[in-house]
Structure 1
Amino acid sequence: MPLKKIFTVVLALFVAGCAGQQTQELLGSAMVSAPVTEIAGNHSIFIATTRKKSDDPNKVFDGERSATLNYARVNVTVPGLHKTGQIERRSRGKSDDPAKYFMASEVVGYDTQPKFSSALNADIAARGGRVMVFVHGYNTGFDAAVYRLTQIVHDSGYPGTPVLFSWASGARTTDYVYDKESASAARDQLEVTLRMLEQSGARRIDIVAHSLGTWVTMETLRQMAITGDRDLGGKLGDVVLASPDIDVDVFKSQMRRYGKPD
C-alpha cells in the first residue's frame, strides 16, 4: 500500500495548538478512584523518544536530548466529561481525578528495542495491523504530547495502534531555536522508528505531524527517498501535516526529492 496522499491542513483536533501546559508532570502523586461509568476511554500509547529520562519520576522524560531512542508505553484514561478537541488537564494543587481529567494510569519502560518491539507487535496484531505515528510540534512537553495523541485517538475513534514519536522539545516559548535543532537531530531516530514499524506486522502506517513535527517528518521522508525505500515497503499510508512549520520553498525542495505520491 504505497503512500497515497500528503495533506497540509489545520485540524480541528488541535484546538490548543502549541500553547503551554499547566504542568509537565505526566504522573500524579495519588490518583483517586473513579467509577467506570465516569471514564470515557482507556488508551495505550506506545512511545519512541529522543528525550532523556527525567530525574523526576513523575515527568518520566524531560526536554534534554538523548543520543539514543528510549521506549515506553503509557496507559491513559479519558474523563467522562471530555469534550471533543479538548484535553482536560488538572492544574497544580488539584486532585488526580480521572473522572475530571486526562490521567496517565500506568507507565511501562522498555530497556531494549526488542522488548519494545515485542509488546508493540502484539498490540498491532490485536488491532488489525494499522498504526498511527504522531510527531508533535514546538513548545510541547512529554506529558502534553502523550495527552494530545490520546485525545486524537479518542476523538477520532482510531482503531489501530497509536505510536508517539516524541523529540526533545524544551516546552517553552523562548526555546524555538533549541526546539528546531532538537527536531533536526531527531530525523534519523524517526526513520529508525518507522523502519521498526515496517518490520512489524503492520499493514498500514499513517503519520500525523503537527507544527515543527512536520519538519522532522518531511526531512525523514526525504532521506528515506534517498535510500530508495520511500514508502516503507508499500506500508506507508497517509501523511497529515497539521499547521506545518516549514518554509514553502523548503517544502517544495523536499517534495522534489521525495517525488509525487503514488
Structure 2
Amino acid sequence: MRTQEDLKLAAAILWLNIHSDRALDKVVSSIGVYRIWQNSPDDELQKTLLGSSKKSSLKVLILLLEHLQDLRLTPHSGELLFRLNSMSDPQFSSYVRTHNFKQVVRDSITLPPAVLEGLGKDAANRYHSEIKSSRPDAEPGIPDSLVKPVIQIHPAPFTSQGFGVTAPNATTHSIFFGTDRNRLSNHVKAQFGDERNEVGITYGVAEVSVPHVHKEGSIERPAKRFRVFKTAENPNLHIVIHKVTARALQDWIESAKMTDSDGLLFIHGFNVTFDEALWRTSQLCHDLKFSGRKFCYSWASCGRVLSYPTDEATIDWSAAHLREFLRTITSNLDLRRLHIIAHSMGNRALLAVLENWQKVEGKTPISQIVLAAPDVDTGRFKQIAEVFGHYDQVTLYASRDDRAIKVSRAVKSLPRAGDANPPIVMTGLSTVDVTAVAGELFGLGHSYIAATSPVFRDLYYIIQEGLVPEKRAGVRKCDEGYYILS
C-alpha cells in the first residue's frame, strides 16, 4: 500500500503544479500523478515518477526526493489522500481544473525553504509571488458549488494503509465478508462493483464505524444537497466504511477464528450495493449488541430497482458461492454456533443451500435462522421448509403491506412467502406477521426488518437469547397458528 513518503511526494508535485504556470514546466502532470498513484506497484511510486518525468524537470523531482524528510503533511492532507484513492479517472480529470483542488493541495503540504531555494532565485520568487496573490477563480464552467468534498478525514496517525480516521464518538466493527462481486481494479483499496466475479468468492475484512448518536435500526448517511450531491461523511455522525481489505483464504480463516463465541451472518436482498451491505451488517450487529464474529455475504446485486430480472438470475448463480462461504465458516473458525439473517431475495440463495445442508459432527452448527421478507415462491418455500426442524429455530417475518413483495407477486402471479396474506403456518417454522408495526425504508416498504424498533427488538430476543415466540415481549399467537407482533 502507499506510504507516508508516497503521499508527501505526490502532494509536493501537485503543489508545484498549481504554482508552476510561470516558473517551470510541470514535473509530472497532475492527472499523471493520479494515474501513477492508482496503477504503479506497491513501493514503486517513486521509481515510476522518476521514469515518467521530463529530462528538463528531473532535477526538480530529485530535489524533492532529497528533501523528502523535510516535507510536512498537514492534518488536512487526508482529503487529498481520499481523492487520490477513490476518484475515477474522469472524475479526477475534471477535479484538477477546479479551485477546490488547488485549495486542497495548498492545505495538504508545506514545502521547506530549502526546496524553493533549490529551484533557483527566479523560480523561488515566482512561487512566493503566486502564494501571496489572491486566490484564483475556478475554471470557467466548473463552479465550486458542483465539486463537493467526498469525505472529511479527521487528523490521525499515518499507517501503511493510509491515514486512520479518528472517530472518538463512534464504535468500529470488523466485518468479515465474502463476495462474488467483481473487484474494481482502479481502486487502491479493495472495492467491489455490481457485476459477477466468474472466478468465485473474494474473502476480506471491512472496518466500519457506527456513531454514538446512531438511532436503533437506522443507517445514518450524509444527506443529498440539491437532490444530487451528498454532503461529506463524518464518522461522528454517519456509518462509515474506513477500510476494505481483500485477503487470501487461509489468512482470512486465521483472522476470523474465534473459539467459544457465536457468529452472525447477514445476507442482503435485491437492490443492494456492496457498501450498503456493509452498512446494514454493521448496523444490525451494533444494535443487537452482538459481540461475536460478524459476517456479511454480498452477492452481486446490481443495486438498482430496474435490475430486478438481472438480480433474480444472479441470486441463483450465487447459491453455490454462498454454500462455499457457509462451509468455510462452519468448518474452520471454531465458532460455538452460527446465526443467519437473510433479507428479501437473499433468502433464495440461503434456502437453496439449507435444502441440502448436511451438519458435520464437531463443526459449527447453524442455530437461529431469520427469513426476513423472503421473496420466494410460497410453494417452493414449503418444499424446502421440511428441513427447518434441523435447526434450533427458523423465524419468518412477513407483512401484508410489503409493497415490493406485492409487486413480485403480481409479476409472478403466484404468492410469495414474505407476504402475510395469509401467513404461512408450518411445523418447524415460527411465522411472525409484522403488518401492524412495519414501516418503510428507501421508499420501498421492503426493509422493515431493520427500520422499526418492535421488529428489531424481537430480533434481539431471537439472536441474543434464543427465545421462542411465546416468551418474547410484544408477540401473541392467533388462532390460525401464526404470531402477531404489536
TM-score range, shorter chain: 0.7 to 0.9
Match of 1:160 in 2: 292
Pair 45,81 (structure 1): closer, same or farther in 2 beyond 3 Å: same
Match of 1:222 in 2: 355
Match of 2:383 in 1: 253
Displacement, 1:129? 2.2
5+ residue gaps, structure 1, are: 1-25
SS at match of 2:197: strand
Match of 1:211 in 2: 344
Contact preservation (8 Å) 1:140, 1:169? yes
Structure richer in strand, relative to its length: 1
Match of 1:66 in 2: 197
Deviations 1:198-218 (A, max 9, x none): 122111011110001111110
Match of 1:237 in 2: 367
Match of 2:175 among 20, 36, 45: 45
Aligned identity (percent) is 26
Pair 42,249 (structure 1): closer, same or farther in 2 beyond 3 Å: same
Q: CA separation in 2, counterparts of 1:37 and 1:107?
A: 20
Q: CA separation in 1, counterparts of 2:221 and 2:361?
A: 37
Match of 1:202 in 2: 335
Q: CA separation in 2, counterparts of 1:222 and 1:135?
A: 17
Please identify the structure whose Cα radius of gyration is greater: 2
Match of 1:94 in 2: 231
Q: CA separation in 2, counterparts of 1:184 and 1:55?
A: 26
Q: Alpha carbon RMSD of aligned pairs, Å?
A: 2.5
Displacement, 1:235? 1.1
Pick 1 or 2: higher relative contact order, CA cutoff 8 A, min separation 6.
1
Pair 55,93 (structure 1): closer, same or farther in 2 beyond 3 Å: farther
Q: Runs in 1 of length 4+ with deviation above 6 angstroms?
A: none
Displacement, 1:234? 6.1
Match of 2:255 in 1: 119
SS at match of 1:108: strand
Opposite residue 119 of structure 1, the aligned amino acid is: S
Deviations 1:223-253 (A, max 9, x none): 32xxx43899461101100111111111011
Match of 2:301 in 1: 169
Opposite residue 238 of structure 2, the aligned amino acid is: Y
Q: CA separation in 1, counterparts of 2:364 and 2:232?
A: 47
SS at match of 1:186: helix
Opposite residue 106 of structure 1, the aligned amino acid is: K
Pair 195,260 (structure 1): closer, same or farther in 2 beyond 3 Å: same
Structure richer in helix, relative to its length: 2
Match of 1:183 among 301, 305, 315: 315
5+ residue gaps, structure 2, are: 1-85, 88-149, 156-164, 392-486
TM-score (normalizing by structure 1):
0.79
Displacement, 1:32? 2.8
Match of 2:153 among 31, 41, 64: 31
SS at match of 2:371: strand
Q: CA separation in 2, counterparts of 1:169 and 1:183?
A: 8
SS at match of 1:133: strand
Aligned length: 228
Q: CA separation in 1, counterparts of 2:167 and 2:352?
A: 43
Q: CA separation in 2, counterparts of 1:218 and 1:204?
A: 18
TM-score (normalizing by structure 2):
0.44
